Amino acid sequence: MSAQCCAGQLACCCGTAGCSLCCGCCPRIRQSRSTRFMYALYFILVVLLCCIMMSKTVANEMKEHIPFYEDICKGIKAGDTCEKLVGYSAVYRVCFGLACFFFVFCLLTLKISSSKGCRAHIHNGFWFFKLLLLAAMCSGAFFIPDQETFLNAWRYVGAVGGFIFIGIQLILLVEFAHKWNKNWTAGTASNKLWYAALALVTLIMYSIATGGLILMAVFYTQKDGCLENKILLGLNGGLCLLISVVAISPWVQNLLDEHGKNVTICVPDFGQDLYRDENLVTGLGTTLLFVCILYSCLTSTTRSSSDALQGRYAAPELEVARCCFCFGPDGEDTEEQRTVKEGPRVIYDEKKGTVYSYSYFHFVFFLASLYVMMTVTSWFNYESANIETFFSGSWSIFWVKMASCWMCVLLYLATLVAPLCCPSRQFSV
């Protein structure tokens, strides 16, 4: 009996059933979610591999504990100490395979509106063969001829894709802020306590921002130095003040109502206790970073996020105020899903049509692959990058983050002043 169960579970990995069918103890899950979970799992596996490749600690441990390490490296033609399998060039190759994997599926799933077609079945199943395909693509990148030209060209492709990924997340972040305000404001018509909730959250956000600005001014500036730090802190603080003033100005409110010196020198000295265990700091920081990336990928591929990027929003009069407004209302499930108490572990919620864009889902993960590649290799400081010094800072990462802050401010400001510049058009957010 146990052998039959194992065989059945292995068969599920090759069929169109979702990942929950492979484990009877797993909770019931929608097919659309199980599919996205499996793709996310593959993404995480490759990201972990990239982090290992960028780790000097792992490379040293392998040299010390693997017998005949140098002979094995020479045997697989990876260099005397397997230098071709570690470092930024190896991460570039592996991420090339990951990006190609998602790009191929992006093209394969173009214009799919039903989950009953052949292409939809490929998207929702055959996980074992997909894993083999992903491994083959990542491994095959190591055999690309003229590696130097490939790495130089792929670096610029990665930079462009990484910036596009950041741009999409910033657009959705601005949309999230407007959606939050719109949803809770809609509740004030029936319950004035929503005004208090809005005021409380606003006060908390401004307190955090002000506190952060003060702490950075205290720890990252000095009385007779750190001019660049002072300028950047003043600039970002001024931009926050500017968009706050614009947001509460009567012109914007009425229209919306109608249309609905060296930075590295100035490092704070918190003492040695904070940096005693560098591996712990690196591990926790890296985990937090990639959890945020994965969350961005999954949340930006929902139907509502896809609609937001295309400028489609729900009518204001249909908005229902909810504390967890980023999730769908409780009544979203179909009658079939609400009444079924027993049955398969996977709920087939796409019988009438897809609940998210398959092609856009893969495109976002394609961009995320490029963003991970550039982030792990410290963007344009790739030659000296390694995972242990990832959070010690580099100029490339610094300016990418700074540019992202300014872009976010400009996007939010544009959504406020756009109705003033084009009064004949209706802007619904």
Can you state the angle between helices 127-140 and 31-53, rounded to 10 degrees?
A: 30
Q: How many CB atoms lie within 10 A of CB 85?
A: 19
CA proximity to 240, closest of 262, 207, 276: 207
State the Cα–Cα distance between residues 84 and 74, nearest whole angstrom: 11
The string of pLDDT tens digits covering residues 164-215 is: 988 888 888 888 888 888 888 888 888 888 888 889 998 999 999 999 999 9
**What average pLDDT score do residues 80-84 get?**
71
d(CA 10, CA 12): 5
* Residue 417: pLDDT over 60: yes
Question: Could you give the 3-state DSSP secondary structure of residue 378?
Answer: coil
Q: Does the structure show a pLDDT above 70 at 30? A: yes
The pLDDT of residue 273: 46
| Burial (0-12, 13-18, 19+ Cβ within 10 Å), 141 | buried
Please check whether residue 213 is in contact with residue 206, taking contact to mean a CB–CB distance below 8 angstroms: no
CB atoms < 10 A from the CB of 70, how many? 13
Segments in 115-226 forming alpha helices (H): 118-124, 127-140, 147-187, 193-219
In this predicted structure, what is the pLDDT of residue 324?
A: 61
Ranges of each domain in the chain: 3-421
Nearest by Cα to 126 from 12, 26, 39, 50: 12
pLDDT at 268 over 50: no
Query: 382, exposed or middle or buried, with CB in 10 Å at 0-12, 13-18, 19+?
Result: buried
> How is the chain split among helix, strand and coil, in percent rounded to 5?
70, 0, 30
pLDDT of residue 376: 87
